[in-house]
Amino acid sequence: MVKNICVIEGDGIGPEVMAEAIKVLNTVAEKYNHKFVYHYCLAGGAAIDKTGKCLPQETLDKVLSADSTLLGAVGGPKWDNESPENRPEKALLGIRKAMQVYANLRPQKLFKELDSPLKANIVGSGIDIMIVRELVSGVYFGQHSESVENTEKTATDIMKYTENEIKRVAKVAFELSLKRSGNLLLVDKANVLATSKLWRKVVGDMAKSYPNVNVSYMYVDNCAMQLIKNPSKIDVILTENMFGDILSDEASAIVGSIGMAGSCSIGDGSRGFYEAIHGSAPDIAGKDIANPIGMISSASMMLKNSFGMFDEAKSIERAIELFIQNGYRTQDIMQPDKKLVKCSEVGDIICSYIIGRS
């Protein structure tokens, strides 16, 4: 199979983790007789430096014509003084909106070999959570304004959801729940927010068509607490854009490191947008110590969700398991008596498991 992949390395550790994911994809292509054609594009700080714009039209055109897009991470202090419309993070929002990838899937699973900051009795029965986050609406896409009211500086951010925006992402979460435990948790703030009340109404109505899914509801503040007190009891979380952003960072910390988690953003077609959930990590950029497993997992999700390459994706997942089981660790997940490896070594080790050489 030939697939055109738009590759946005981005800023900070983005190019470092992307290089490892590309090694892995090349190995999969060789083993399974596929051809992946990479179209390298600029977005974020790197694009501002070269073109003055955080999201050049050329990149947007490539993203919309490729079979799928991989992104490292964008942003960093160098571009903090850009205008709000040209900040690196705006590029991300622009790509997500243009692709209409409204459902962001963020699996968070604790490998039994890795340490969680939570006590052993809490993680005893394991952590395996799937967060389904709405990605192209809500407060991040609402109007943001600043004004002066009665001589006082004032700022406003508008959070808006339509019924259809909720329905389409909820459908993804219902279908996923059917393939997992059948338990779906809607996380909101329905005691305060009108948007949350609409989410409850829409999801409640849809539940009638999914008799095999048990829907429950939780306020976001309680969910932040339950993720730490009872993570094993949570399976699929469905939530709006900003709550999903915050809760998935929290969930990534309890499964060991933010560097381990991949993500997949999908819409109506097969084309998707794949990125690790971490940012550009300026504090460790250029040191060859970043954990690229989140980016490699994102590439694996692309093979499965956009290209229907199930065996290929499984071979990557299995290789990541072997990497961990055989004691290899990047600095963020290092434990006593384990083998510390650099970011640039991770892809090679994982590739060796894919081809079955180790």
Chain contacts with ligand NAD (rule: CB under 6 A):
13, 17, 73-76, 89, 92, 257-259, 275, 278-284, 290-291, 294, 332
Whether 274 is a known active-site residue: answer no
CB of 12 to ligand NAD, least distance (A): 6
Scanning 86-162, the segments in alpha helix (DSSP H) are 88-99, 120-123
Q: Report the C-alpha gap between 296 and 267 in whole angstroms.
A: 21
Strands 236-239 and 128-134: parallel
Whether 328 is a known active-site residue: answer no
Question: What separation in angstroms does the CA of 167 have from each of 16, 105, 162, 171, 188?
Answer: 37, 16, 9, 6, 15
Toward ligand NAD, which CB reaches closer, 137 or 195?
137
Toward ligand NAD, which CB reaches closer, 239 or 291?
291
Q: Report the C-alpha gap between 109 and 127 in whole angstroms.
A: 5
CB of 53 to ligand NAD, least distance (A): 17
One of 140, 161, 210, 353 is an active-site residue; which one? 140
Toward ligand NAD, which CB reaches closer, 210 or 243?
243
Q: Report the C-alpha gap between 329 and 340 in whole angstroms.
A: 5
Whether 249 is a known active-site residue: answer yes
Structure tokens at 331: 């600095």
Structure tokens at 281: 């990590």
CB of 240 to ligand NAD, least distance (A): 17
- As to burial, measured by CB atoms within 10 angstroms (0-12 exposed, 13-18 middle, 19+ buried), residue 38 is middle
Sign of the C-alpha dihedral computed for residues 293, 26, 74 and 339 taken in this order: positive
Toward ligand NAD, which CB reaches closer, 95 or 206?
95
Please report the DSSP string for 148-194 in residue order. EETTEEEEEE-----HHHHHHHHHHHHHHHHHTTSEEEEEE-TTT-H
Q: Are residues 184 and 199 in contact, defined by beta-carbon separation less than 8 angstroms?
A: no
Whether 80 is a known active-site residue: answer no
Q: CA torsion angle for 158, 161, 162, 166 (degrees, to 10)?
A: 170
Toward ligand NAD, which CB reaches closer, 46 or 258?
258
Whether 245 is a known active-site residue: answer yes
One of 31, 171, 189, 338 is an active-site residue; which one? 189
CB of 25 to ligand NAD, least distance (A): 18
One of 49, 61, 80, 221 is an active-site residue; which one? 221
Toward ligand NAD, which CB reaches closer, 19 or 178?
19
Buried b (16+ CB within 10 A) or exposed e, 261-293: bbbbbbbeeebbbbbbbbbbbbebbeeebbbbb
Q: Report the C-alpha gap between 157 and 142 in whole angstroms.
A: 6
CB of 290 to ligand NAD, least distance (A): 4
Toward ligand NAD, which CB reaches closer, 130 or 258?
258
CB of 189 to ligand NAD, least distance (A): 22
Q: Are residues 62 and 6 in contact, defined by beta-carbon separation less than 8 angstroms?
A: yes
CB of 110 to ligand NAD, least distance (A): 17
Residues annotated catalytic, as ranges:
140, 189, 221, 245, 249
